[in-house]
């Protein structure tokens, strides 16, 4: 009964390719997020999507683009992958207000 | 602006001993504070939160945290550590006064419980 699910779990690809990571939540939450966790385990917010309002972390390269077909889905598309994109990407969701976030188990992206 | 600091990269404790993982924060208004745990190859899991009320908050797996407004701290504690508590712990803060609804996470503290 997965709450926040991401696919694929592992993604190995070559530099220059374009790839997408899918995220779905079945919790009925209003807000979804994408985080990047680097090799030092530091979590960096990339995007947040709340009621069709997209908040972008200005430090994220424009090769990264979120796409939300509906409230339960927030996919991440990455163009022209670079070596530095290798990381674990986490999707999360939360209701509005003072409630905690629920995280998926991550997508491990490796660039060859 | 909101920020959170976890001053220790790693905490080592013997099984059965009490443990503390430190967190300090900075917000303009009142804080919403959260602790999460991350096990290897898993996403973050919510442990406990402080929104308002009693300064001592109890959460999952026997963990608790104490909100201290004067010291702007929200340290995570457990009276008796288990080897299975070994994981990465994140503190997060959000300003209840509004602005961004996106919480800010600390850099994480690796807890190692020795048998």
Q: What is the chain B residue with the closest CA to A99? A: B49
| Alpha-carbon gap, residue A110 to A21, rounded angstroms | 13
**Residues in chain A whose beta carbon is closer than 8 A to a beta carbon of chain B?**
4, 31, 33, 40-43, 45, 48, 50, 55, 90, 92, 96, 98, 100-106
CATH code for the domain in which residue A78 is found: 2.60.40.10
CATH T-level fold of B3-114: Immunoglobulin-like (2.60.40)
Q: Which residues touch A24 (CB under 8 Å, ≥6 apart)?
A: A4, A5, A72, A73
- pLDDT, tens digit (0-9, with 9 covering 90-100), for B24-53: 999 988 999 999 999 999 999 999 999 999
Give the A:B interface size as CB pairs under 8 Å. Answer: 50
Using CA coordinates, name the residue in chain A closest to B43: A105
pLDDT of residue B79: 97
- CB–CB of A50 and B41 under 8 A? no
Q: Which of B43, B51, B102 sits opposite A103 (nearest CB)?
A: B43
What tens-digit pLDDT sequence spans chain B (115 residues)? 899 999 999 999 999 999 999 999 999 889 999 999 999 999 999 999 999 999 999 999 999 999 999 999 999 999 999 999 999 999 999 988 866 788 999 999 999 999 9
Distance CA B23, CA B29 (A): 18
Query: To the nearest whole angstrom, how far is the Cα of B51 from the nearest Cα of chain A?
Result: 7
Number of domains in chain A: 1
The 8 Å CB, 24+ separation contacts for B5-11 are B5/B106, B6/B89, B6/B90, B6/B91, B6/B106, B6/B107, B6/B108, B6/B109, B8/B109, B9/B107, B9/B109, B9/B110, B10/B109, B10/B110, B10/B111, B10/B112, B11/B109, B11/B110, B11/B111, B11/B112
**Does A103 contact B100 at a Cβ distance shorter than 8 Å?**
no
User: What is the residue range of A75's domain?
Assistant: 4-111
Domain edges within chain B: 3-114
């Amino acid at each position: 009964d997965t709450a926040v699910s991401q696919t694929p779990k592992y993604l190995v690809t070559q530099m220059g390719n374009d790839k997408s990571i899918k995220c779905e939540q079945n919790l009925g939450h209003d807000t979804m997020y994408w985080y990047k966790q680097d090799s030092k385990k530091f979590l960096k917010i990339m995007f947040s999507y709340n009621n069709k309002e997209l908040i972008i972390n200005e430090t994220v390269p424009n090769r990264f683009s979120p796409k939300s077909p509906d409230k339960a889905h927030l996919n991440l598309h990455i163009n022209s992958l670079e070596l530095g994109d290798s990381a674990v990407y986490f999707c999360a969701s939360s209701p509005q207000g003072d409630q905690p976030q629920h995280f998926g188990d991550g997508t491990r992206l490796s660039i060859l | 602006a909101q920020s959170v600091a976890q001053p220790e990269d790693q905490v080592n404790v013997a099984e059965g001993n009490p443990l503390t993982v430190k967190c300090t924060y900075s917000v303009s208004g009142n804080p919403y504070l959260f602790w999460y745990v991350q096990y290897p190859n898993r996403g973050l899991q919510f442990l406990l939160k402080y929104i308002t009320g009693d300064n001592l908050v109890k959460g999952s797996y026997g963990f608790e945290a104490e909100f201290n407004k004067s010291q702007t701290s929200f340290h995570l504690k457990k009276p008796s550590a288990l080897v299975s508590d070994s994981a990465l712990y994140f503190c997060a803060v959000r300003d209840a006064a509004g602005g961004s609804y996106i919480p800010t996470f600390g850099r994480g503290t690796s807890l190692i419980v020795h048998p």
